[in-house]
Chains A and B, each alone.
Chain A
Amino acid sequence: MAEATKKFMYINRKAPYGTIYAWEALEVVLIGAAFEQDVSVAFMDDGVYQLAKGQDTTGIGMKNFSPTYAALGDFEITKIYVEKESLEERGLTLDDLQHLVWEDEDEDWAEKDSIRLVSRAELGDVLADQDVLFNF
């Protein structure tokens, strides 16, 4: 693509089930990965539950799409911001979330953490630095 790269951020603010926003947002992220922009993904408010590990949807008859988040690294999506206050307000810590990683080809495919735990203020700064915000 000839255009200059833009900073794209996908913001996830809703619980994974109950509404379709989270799942359809993930579909946008996966499609968007093909466009070679500078992509990051943020999880805040109830959106932090999207990354919760051990999700089991058998009781609600819906597809458990949470394993897909682990594939984001393979789509070269390596910057995943999680808002610290949103976790704390829900009694969660990083240990409750999936361990998401990506492989750095510049460092012999070393496995690196994708999740960046940031404060609300820090996330605000990251948002302000973006060109395009997709809000789900």
Chain B
Amino acid sequence: MKLTIQVNEGPYQHQSADSAYFFAKAALEKGHEIYRIFFYHDGVNNGTRLTTPPQDDRNIVARWSELGQAHDIDMVLCVAAAQRRGIVDDGEAERNGKDATNIAPGFRISGLGQLIEGGVQSDRLVVFGD
């Protein structure tokens, strides 16, 4: 089955970020295809490489990066949500005159149309959040 996953909550604050990761991993192990993972609302905070959790805790961002890169998953941070919350890639830094970037490997920033298109193209849209 072809899936698009929407992640609406930030890492550590809310279990949705963990549940979405475990769901994605299990779906891939079962042979399903992940068309896209779209991060919205505070979910965009799953994509900052500056996160530094305590050493005895899971690294949620690194975990996403590894999964995404290992399976070549399209992991998209919503641009409007990312701008509000200070998640920046090279393009955004240049466009908005920011002095740094923080996007994590394997993620990209794009528009909400990518979420809608995920719903159009996939067999299921699976939403994680409150």
Contacts and interface: CB of A to CB of B under 8 A. Distances in A.
Contacts of A8: 116, 119
Contact of A132 (B41, B80, B125): B125
A134 B125 contact: yes
B41 A20 contact: yes
B113 interface: yes
Interface residues of B, number: 19
Contacts of B116: 8, 28, 31-32, 35, 37
B87 to A, nearest CB: 14
Contact of A31 (B111, B121, B125, B129): B111
Contacts of B8: 21, 136
A31 B113 contact: yes
16 contacts: A1-B120, A21-B8, A24-B41, A24-B80, A27-B112, A28-B40, A28-B112, A28-B115, A31-B111, A35-B113, A35-B117, A35-B120, A132-B119, A133-B127, A134-B6, A136-B8
Given A24-B80, A134-B6, 6 more contacts: A24-B40, A24-B41, A28-B115, A31-B112, A35-B113, A133-B127
